Structure 1
Amino acid sequence: MYMTQGLHRALASWPDRVMTVCGSRKRTFATVAERVARLAGGLRQLGVQRGDRVAMLALNSDRYSEYLLAVPWADAVLNPVNIRWSPQEISYSLVDSGTTVLLVDDAFAPLLPAIRAGAPDLATVVYCGEEHIPDGMVGFEDLIALDLPLEDARRGGDDLAGIFYTGGTTGFPKGVMLSHANLTVSVLGSLATGYLMDEDSVSLHAAPMFHLADFATWYAQLMVGGTHVFVPAFDPVAVLQAIDTHRVTDMLLVPVMVQLLLDHPAVGEYDLSCVRGILYGAAPISEALLARALTVFEGAGFTQAYGMTEVAPIATLLGPRDHRAGRLRSAGRAAPHSEVRVVDADGRVADPGTVGEVVVRGGHAMLGYWNRPDDTAAAVRDGWMHTGDGGYLDADGYLYIVDRIKDMIVSGGENVYSAEVENAIAEHPDVAACAVIGVPDPEWGERVHAVLVCRPGCELTLEDVRAHTKSLIAGYKAPRSLDVVAALPVSGAGKILKRQLREQYWTDTTRQVN
Structure 2
Amino acid sequence: MDNLASLLVKSARSGGDRVAVRQDDITLTYAQLDDASARFATLLRSRGVHPGDRVALVMPNVSCFPVAYYGILRCGGVVVPMNPLLKSREVAFALRDSGSRIAVTSPHSTHEVATATAEVGIDCLVTDTATFDTLVQDSEPMRQVAGRAADDTAVILYTSGTTGTPKGAELTHRNLVTNAATTAGTLLHVGPADVLFGGLPLFHAFGQTCALNTAVAAGATLTLMPRFDPAEALEIMRRDGATIFLGVPTMYSALLNNRGPDGHALPRLRLAVSGGASLPVEVLHTFEREFAVTVLEGYGLSETSPVAAFNPPDRPRKAGSIGVPIRGVELRLMADDGTPVGPGEVGEIAIRGENVMRRYWNRPDDTAEAVRDGWFHSGDLARVDDDGYYFIVDRKKDLIIRGGYNVYPREIEEVLYEHPAVAEAAVVGVPHEVHGEEIAAVVTVRDGSQVTADEMRDHVRARVAAYKYPRIVTFTDALPKGATGKILKREIVVEWKAP
TM-score normalised per structure 2: 0.93
Among 148, 152, 156, the residue aligned to 1:155? 148
Deviation at 1:503, TM superposition (A): 9.6
Deviation at 1:194, TM superposition (A): 3.6
- The letter for the 2-side match of 1:174 is K
Does residue 456 of structure 2 align to residue 465 of structure 1?
Answer: yes
Among 272, 275, 284, the residue aligned to 1:278? 272
**Partner SS, residue 186 of structure 1:** helix
Among 133, 136, 142, the residue aligned to 1:144? 136
Deviations for 1:196-234, whole angstroms, at most 9, x for unmatched residues? 532221112112111111001211111111111112221
Q: CA separation of 1:493/1:188 partners in 2, compared to 1, >3 Å: closer, same or farther?
A: same
Among 200, 221, 224, the residue aligned to 1:230? 224
Report which stretch shifted further, 349-358 or 495-504. Answer: 495-504
User: Matches of 2:414 and 2:87 in 1, distance apart?
Assistant: 15
Q: Which residue of 2 aligns with 1:375?
A: 366
Deviations for 1:73-132, whole angstroms, at most 9, x for unmatched residues? 11111111122322101111011111121111121112244323532x21x22222256x
Deviation at 1:11, TM superposition (A): 2.4
User: Matches of 1:157 and 1:116 in 2, distance apart?
Assistant: 30
Q: Which residue of 1 aligns with 2:467?
A: 476
**Is residue 284–residue 328 contact of structure 1 (8 Å, CA) maintained in 2?**
no
**Is residue 72–residue 154 contact of structure 1 (8 Å, CA) maintained in 2?**
no
Deviations for 1:343-394, whole angstroms, at most 9, x for unmatched residues? 0111110012211211100011111111111111111110000111122222
Q: Which residue of 2 aligns with 1:35?
A: 36
Q: Which residue of 1 aligns with 2:176?
A: 183
Q: CA separation of 1:205/1:154 partners in 2, compared to 1, >3 Å: closer, same or farther?
A: farther
Q: Which residue of 1 aligns with 2:83?
A: 82
Q: Which residue of 2 aligns with 1:53?
A: 54
Does residue 383 of structure 2 align to residue 392 of structure 1?
Answer: yes
Report which stretch shifted further, 229-238 or 67-76. Answer: 229-238
Deviations for 1:42-97, whole angstroms, at most 9, x for unmatched residues? 11111111111111111112211111211111111111112232210111101111
**Is residue 273–residue 297 contact of structure 1 (8 Å, CA) maintained in 2?**
no
Q: CA separation of 1:108/1:301 partners in 2, compared to 1, >3 Å: closer, same or farther?
A: same
Deviation at 1:471, TM superposition (A): 2.1
- The letter for the 2-side match of 1:10 is S
Q: CA separation of 1:56/1:496 partners in 2, compared to 1, >3 Å: closer, same or farther?
A: same
Among 445, 456, 466, the residue aligned to 2:447? 456
Q: CA separation of 1:228/1:192 partners in 2, compared to 1, >3 Å: closer, same or farther?
A: closer
Q: Which residue of 2 aligns with 1:165?
A: 158
Deviation at 1:336, TM superposition (A): 1.6
Deviation at 1:295, TM superposition (A): 3.2
Report which stretch shifted further, 52-61 or 267-276. Answer: 267-276
Does residue 214 of structure 2 align to residue 220 of structure 1?
Answer: yes
Q: Which residue of 2 aligns with 1:110?
A: 111
Deviations for 1:411-454, whole angstroms, at most 9, x for unmatched residues? 21122221111111111122111111122111111221222212
User: Matches of 2:245 and 2:65 in 1, distance apart?
Assistant: 17
User: Matches of 2:437 and 2:264 in 1, distance apart?
Assistant: 31
Q: Which residue of 2 aligns with 1:441?
A: 432
Deviations for 1:238-263, whole angstroms, at most 9, x for unmatched residues? 21221111111112211111211221
Report which stretch shifted further, 488-497 or 471-480. Answer: 471-480
Q: Which residue of 2 aligns with 1:253?
A: 247
**Is residue 60–residue 83 contact of structure 2 (8 Å, CA) maintained in 1?**
no
Deviation at 1:266, TM superposition (A): 3.5
User: Matches of 1:156 and 1:274 in 2, distance apart?
Assistant: 39
Q: Which residue of 1 aligns with 2:423?
A: 432
Report which stretch shifted further, 179-188 or 208-217. Answer: 179-188
Using the aligned pairs only, state the percent identity. Answer: 33
Q: CA separation of 1:141/1:259 partners in 2, compared to 1, >3 Å: closer, same or farther?
A: same
- The letter for the 1-side match of 2:274 is Y
Deviations for 1:436-484, whole angstroms, at most 9, x for unmatched residues? 1122111111221222212234444432222111222222121122332
Deviation at 1:329, TM superposition (A): 2.3
Q: CA separation of 1:29/1:117 partners in 2, compared to 1, >3 Å: closer, same or farther?
A: closer
The count of residues paired between Structure 1 and Structure 2 equals 493
Report which stretch shifted further, 108-117 or 176-185. Answer: 108-117
Deviation at 1:143, TM superposition (A): 4.0
Report which stretch shifted further, 366-375 or 108-117. Answer: 108-117
Deviation at 1:290, TM superposition (A): 2.1
**Is residue 53–residue 101 contact of structure 1 (8 Å, CA) maintained in 2?**
yes
Q: CA separation of 1:8/1:339 partners in 2, compared to 1, >3 Å: closer, same or farther?
A: same
Deviations for 1:149-193, whole angstroms, at most 9, x for unmatched residues? 212114341111011111243442111101000112222233343
Q: CA separation of 1:267/1:381 partners in 2, compared to 1, >3 Å: closer, same or farther?
A: farther
Long gaps (5+) in structure 2: none
TM-score normalised per structure 1: 0.91
User: Matches of 2:308 and 2:276 in 1, distance apart?
Assistant: 13
**Is residue 3–residue 145 contact of structure 2 (8 Å, CA) maintained in 1?**
no
Among 287, 301, 307, the residue aligned to 2:294? 301
- The letter for the 2-side match of 1:69 is Y
Q: Which residue of 2 aligns with 1:508?
A: none
**Is residue 281–residue 320 contact of structure 2 (8 Å, CA) maintained in 1?**
no
User: Matches of 2:205 and 2:185 in 1, distance apart?
Assistant: 19
- The letter for the 2-side match of 1:142 is T
Q: CA separation of 1:484/1:268 partners in 2, compared to 1, >3 Å: closer, same or farther?
A: farther
Q: Which residue of 2 aligns with 1:195?
A: 188
RMSD: 2.1
